[in-house]
């Protein structure tokens, strides 16, 4: 019969079950996000990142602090691999400090801090007002890519922190837009604003 389908269920029954599953998934996401936002409001994860910067960046009080990350997909045949990077960063008009973070153990750990001087850069690739940036050296080799988001929630194991930082996102956008103009003008290049395809000659 037309109303009979797999496992003895009718089409209306399957539709009803599908709607119920979707509704439950939606409720689960809402509850999870509410819990994560409450945790973010405590500032616990943000304080962990700030403490790492305090221990690793010299005179960190002279810098704007932020949590940053990056993810990128690569393709090989039909296989897609997504790689994730996490950072604590501190920036001002002349330099950027980066502390790589890891979440392999379920707790944030960090490795050695390093510094990128504005004067060492050849290209700053981004879009005006965007919250991401790619930094390239004088030989057009990529040094670092990252983004700073105002809201970071533990949606899954690949997103390891609950951090709300709208002020840091705003400051980061202004900072990298400034570097884009200064660095690219100094090197007589125009950024394309296309990820991984930075260079457009004037």
Going by pLDDT thresholds of 50, 70 and 90, the confidence category of residue 88 is: very high
Q: For the chain, what are the domain ranges?
A: 6-38, 43-201
pLDDT of 201 > 50? The answer is yes
Please state, in angstroms and rounded to a whole number, the distance separating the CA atoms of residues 36 and 168. Answer: 19
CB contact set of 124 (below 8 Å; sequence gap of 6+): 133, 134, 135, 136, 176, 179, 180, 183, 184, 191
Fold observed for domain 43-201: PH-domain like (2.30.29)
Counting residues of the chain whose pLDDT is more than 70, the rounded percentage is 81
Long-range CB pairs of 102-108 (<8 Å, 24+ gap) are 103/157, 103/160, 108/45, 108/48, 108/49, 108/52, 108/160, 108/161
SS3 assignment, position 37: helix
């Amino acid at each position: 019969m037309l109303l009979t389908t797999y496992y003895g269920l009718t089409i209306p029954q399957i539709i009803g079950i599908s709607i119920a599953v979707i509704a439950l998934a939606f409720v689960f996401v809402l509850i999870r996000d509410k819990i994560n936002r409450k945790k973010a409001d405590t500032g616990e994860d943000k304080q962990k990142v700030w403490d790492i910067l305090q221990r690793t960046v010299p005179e960190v009080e002279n810098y704007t602090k932020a949590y940053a990350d990056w993810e990128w997909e690569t393709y090989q045949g039909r296989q897609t691999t997504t790689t994730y990077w996490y950072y604590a960063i501190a920036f001002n008009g002349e330099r950027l400090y980066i502390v790589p973070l890891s979440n392999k153990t379920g707790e944030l750990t960090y490795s050695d801090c390093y510094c990128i001087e504005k004067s060492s850069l050849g290209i700053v690739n981004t879009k005006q007002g965007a919250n991401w940036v790619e930094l390239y050296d004088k030989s057009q080799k990529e040094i670092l890519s990252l983004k700073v988001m105002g809201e970071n929630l533990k949606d899954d194991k690949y997103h390891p922190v609950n951090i709300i930082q709208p002020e840091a996102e705003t400051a980061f956008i202004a900072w990298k837009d400034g570097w884009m103009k200064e660095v690219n003008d100094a090197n007589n290049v125009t950024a394309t604003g296309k990820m991984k395809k930075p260079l457009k000659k004037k």
